[in-house]
Amino acid sequence: MSAQGSAAKRLVVIVLATVVVVVLVRVAKRAPEAQVGTPVLAAGEKEPRSVAEAVRVRVPDHEEVVGSVRSRRVVRVAAQVSARVLEVPRQAGERVRAGEVLVRLDERESAARLRQMRETLVAVEAAGESARQREAQAEARLTQARAAFERTRGLFERQAATQAGLEDAERARIEAEAGLADAKAAVASAAAQRESARAATTEAEAALSHLTLTAPFDGLVSERRVEPGDLANPGEPLLVLLDPAALRVEAAVREGLIARLSRGQALEVELPSSGARIAGTVSELLPAADPRTRTFEVHVDLPRPEEPRDGAAASPAVHAGMFARLRVPLGDREVVRAPAAALERVGQLWTVLVDERGTWRRRVVTRGEELGDGAVEVLSGLTGGERIGLADGRP
């Protein structure tokens, strides 16, 4: 009785186990079918009318290096003399033309000194003219004294003149020669004084001209550091002027990347704030790296608005101080390329409709950078070769 009971229990266990295995196998076989059969499109969403294909292509690879836009021409307008500020016509942010007055300084003291120097120069020139006249008179007296001495000496030799007369004539000649030497020294001294007075006058004129500061080129006032009434000191910047059309990007490039750059190389510059991409030119590669950061400073000139390059020109929205990225080429790499119109943003995710065995299924993907011609890189979610629906092809 107990043996029959045990055999019955074992039979029940075996039957139950067999049933469980069969059920699990059927469930496993039906799971993919159930997954395929689940709804793949949102309510009210229709299949796309236009399709495209995700393909694997090779595209140029690059590394981005961050930098800042700077002006290639920056001038700090400073005073060369100490004077009171009278006028500052321009405000920061205003444009100026070359030669336009930027700052006027008080010129009364310098003008008075210039008048004094000019009066001194006139007096010195008059003294010089008087010295030259005295020199001419001394030369005439010397000529007469020499002639008288020669005549007296001839008479003395013929015993027609006395010894005292000859000595008087020689003394007069010697005095005339000394007088001419003194006159020449006076002329030389007057000439030196005249040159000194002229130099002082020129210096006073220059000092007076330095009291009106003008713009050295067409540009933009980026900083205004003084106001009327302030005291300007020599070497102290009063305004900062920059050329807004002559711009460049200054960036620090890591030492492992510097070998890929050379002077004159064309380099793409990206401005994230405006989304613009500009073709720049490497103008400077500093030869020494910063020992603290192990980076090299690189300057990339941006084209002027009137100097387009490869169809790209400096955008009017480019300003000094803006954030920029340099795209340093590294070769090429393989990516999955898909039309940007195929990607649709749902919240924080990018999705695309993929044809899977005749069934349109929405798939989450990771969008990469733009590749141009309306295409983007797909980092994950597609492997290439898939048929995908275009978002603009759906009603």
**351 and 231, same structural domain?**
no
Least confident of 23-27, 30-34, 232-236: 30-34
**Residue 14's pLDDT is what?**
62
**296 and 310, same structural domain?**
yes
Residue 124 amino acid letter: V
Over range 179-204, report the average pLDDT.
86
Q: Which residue has the higher pLDDT, 44 or 224?
A: 224
Cβ neighbors of 27 (< 8 A, separation 6 or more) are: none
**224 and 185, same structural domain?**
no
pLDDT tier at 282 (50, 70, 90 boundaries)? very high
Give the Å distances, CA to CA, from 212 to 91, 221, 227.
17, 17, 15
**Residue 40's pLDDT is what?**
56
Over range 74-78, report the average pLDDT.
92
Domain count for the chain, please give it. Answer: 3
**139 and 92, same structural domain?**
no
- Per residue in 116-130, pLDDT tens? 888 888 888 888 888
Boundaries of domain holding 172: 108-209
DSSP 272: T
**225 and 182, same structural domain?**
no
Q: Tell me if the pTM is above 0.75.
A: no
What CATH number does residue 261 fall under? 2.40.30.170
**Residues above pLDDT 70, as percent of the chain:** 85
**363 and 268, same structural domain?**
yes
**Residue 35's pLDDT is what?**
36
**Residue 293's pLDDT is what?**
92
Over range 26-55, report the average pLDDT.
57
**350 and 319, same structural domain?**
yes
CA distance 139 to 136: 5
What CATH number does residue 232 fall under? 2.40.50.100
Over range 173-187, report the average pLDDT.
86
Cβ neighbors of 141 (< 8 A, separation 6 or more) are: 176, 179, 180
**Residue 103's pLDDT is what?**
92
Over range 363-384, report the average pLDDT.
88
Cβ neighbors of 93 (< 8 A, separation 6 or more) are: 220, 221, 222
Q: 195-214: b or e for each residue (b if 16 or more CB lie within 10 Å)?
A: eebeebbeebeebbebbebe
Q: Could you give the 3-state DSSP secondary structure of residue 354?
A: strand
- Per residue in 242-251, pLDDT tens? 998 899 999 9
Residue 25 within a domain: no
